[in-house]
Structure formats: C-alpha cells, structure tokens
Amino acid sequence: MTRGAPLRLGRRSHPASARLVMAIVNRTPDSFYDRGLTWAEDAALDRVRQVVDEGADLVDIGGIKAAPGVEVDAAEEKQRVVGFVERVRAEHPDLVISVDTWRAEVARAVLKVGADVVNDAWGGADPALPEVVAEFGAGLVLTHTGGVTPRTRPHRIEYDDVVADVRQSLLRQAERAVAAGVERERVVIDPAHDFGKNTWHSLEVTRRLHELTSLGWPVLVSLSNKDFVGEALDRPVGERLTGTLAATALCAWHGAQVYRVHEVPQTREVLDLVSVVAGDLPPARTVRGLA
C-alpha cells in the first residue's frame, strides 16, 4: 500500500498513517444530499454535536452548494457561515474546523473567528486565497477542477490523461501555496472526484490514486454519495452508501488521509479496518484461537 505524508490541522499533528474523517455540515437550503436538513443554524449545530460524538476528526462547514443554483454572493455566504463558525468554536474549542469556500474574502472572515482550514473546492478560482490562509497560519485544501467555473457542471470535458492533469494542477497549486507562506504540512491536495470530471475520469483517479499519494502531500478525498458512485452502481443519491464505503477502502489502501463524508460511523469503521490490515492499528481484540 502507499503511505501518505505528515499533516497538521489546527493544533494537531498527524503521522503519514493517519486516516481522518471530515464530517460535512451544510449551511445551505439546497444541498444535493440532505436537502436543507441543516439549513437552520440550530440544526447545523446539532449536526456538529452528533458527528463529534460519532468520532469525526474535523468538520467542513459550507455555505454554498457546489452544483448550479441560486446565486449566493460573498455577503450572503458570510452571513451563513461566519457566525456559525464562531458558535462552533465556542462550544468545541479543540475541534478542527474547516470551511468550504473559494473566496478569499469569506476565508478571511471565518479564519478571524476561529476556523483552522480553508477547503478551496474550486481549484484556485480566487488567486488571493493562499495569501489569506498564510496570514492566519491556517491549513489549505487544494483541488483539481479542470479549470471549470465555480458552481458549473462539467460538459464533455476531455483529458489526454486525467491523472497527469490532476498531478500537474495540484503540484502547481501546492507549490504556489507554500511560496505564499502556507506551511507545507498544512497543505492538503484533493483530486476532487466529479468536479471537472465525468464518471470515467473519477474512476480512473480512484484506480490510480497512489500516483497522487506518492507525491509527498497529504491527500483528501471527497467521495461521499458522489455521482460517479451512483453511475457505477446505478444507484440514486440515497442509496450510495455501500459504494461510497467501497471507494473509501480503495482510497485508504492507496494512501489517502482525509475523507470528507456524510456518514461518519460507517466511514470510521472502514478506515479503522484498513488501518488494522495495514498494521497501523492493532485489532480491538484478539481471542480467536487463543482462548
């Protein structure tokens, strides 16, 4: 199996063998999976409490759904996430908090109130973002989107070699982030399944993920209930958990370290089993054939 790289998130350091669960918390009324279940702030805070109890290592708070929809400007995005991040930080002082935004303006606002990581899901659409992250000593997740505009779906996008394109893009972004002052161990790369990709592309990235984890940067994967899982198995959004967990195990074996997910306990169990098989964790108990 392929090993990852050391990483630092907030005040916590993790070895290359770490497999961390990042729980999704949507502050949107129209997310594709939960359909606004955590749109109300109190409901979103309950979601944070739930995933913390379930063993999430960090949360990822987003104020805009990735898919096309109602326009959400920076002022509205800040209204959705800044005060909420402040509440989460007050209630969970040790929790690592990530915010899913591509806007430097929003990143600055959430970092001021206690966020630890900025998850730039749109491949560097705002070039000022790394400098803001560096200013606060925060972490930065970088993604490959094939150059598509934020909140647009890919249409007949083509690559000579999708993994080569992902590698080139992420290495360029990572090197730029470090040059801007972001600490190397706080830079995380994400091939961004489905973003700027069709199902064939996402499957190829999964199959060859070791080509990314061998680059020496911590790798995040966001697989949870994605369309490539649904199309691979012909399953609607609400029936993709089994496929998601299968993809999770594959990516874990290839060395991915952070998993952005909806279902925390199931993901944690899959990752723990991979860690036990890999020899990174001992079995919880071993009595078979010994008692």
Contact of 50 with 91, CB cutoff 8 Å: no
Domains of the chain: 7-278 (3.20.20.20)
**Tens-digit pLDDT profile for residues 65-97:** 998 888 999 999 999 999 999 999 999 999 999
Asked whether the predicted pLDDT for residue 34 surpasses 80, the reply is no
Give the separation between CA 256 and CA 221, rounded to whole angstroms.
7
Q: Quickly state the pLDDT bin for 33 (edges 50, 70, 90).
A: confident
Query: 63 burial class (0-12, 13-18, 19+ CB within 10 angstroms)?
Result: buried
pLDDT score of 32: 74
Query: Which residues fall within 8 angstroms of residue 120, CB to CB, at 6 or more apart?
Result: 101, 102, 126, 129, 140, 141, 142, 143
Asked whether the predicted pLDDT for residue 47 surpasses 80, the reply is yes
Give the separation between CA 1 and CA 271, rounded to whole angstroms.
14
**Tens-digit pLDDT profile for residues 239-259:** 999 999 999 999 999 999 999
Q: What is the DSSP string of 164-209?
A: HHHHHHHHHHHHHHHHTT--GGGEEEE--TTTT--HHHHHHHHHTT
Average pLDDT (250-271) is 98
pTM above 0.85, yes or no: yes
pLDDT score of 283: 97
Average pLDDT score over the chain: 96
Q: Quickly state the pLDDT bin for 31 (edges 50, 70, 90).
A: confident
How many percent of the chain have pLDDT more than 70? 100
Give the separation between CA 252 and CA 242, rounded to whole angstroms.
15
**Tens-digit pLDDT profile for residues 97-138:** 999 999 999 999 999 999 999 999 999 999 999 999 999 999
**Tens-digit pLDDT profile for residues 181-212:** 999 999 999 999 999 999 999 999 999 999 99
Give the separation between CA 211 and CA 215, rounded to whole angstroms.
7
Residues acting as catalytic residues: 226, 260
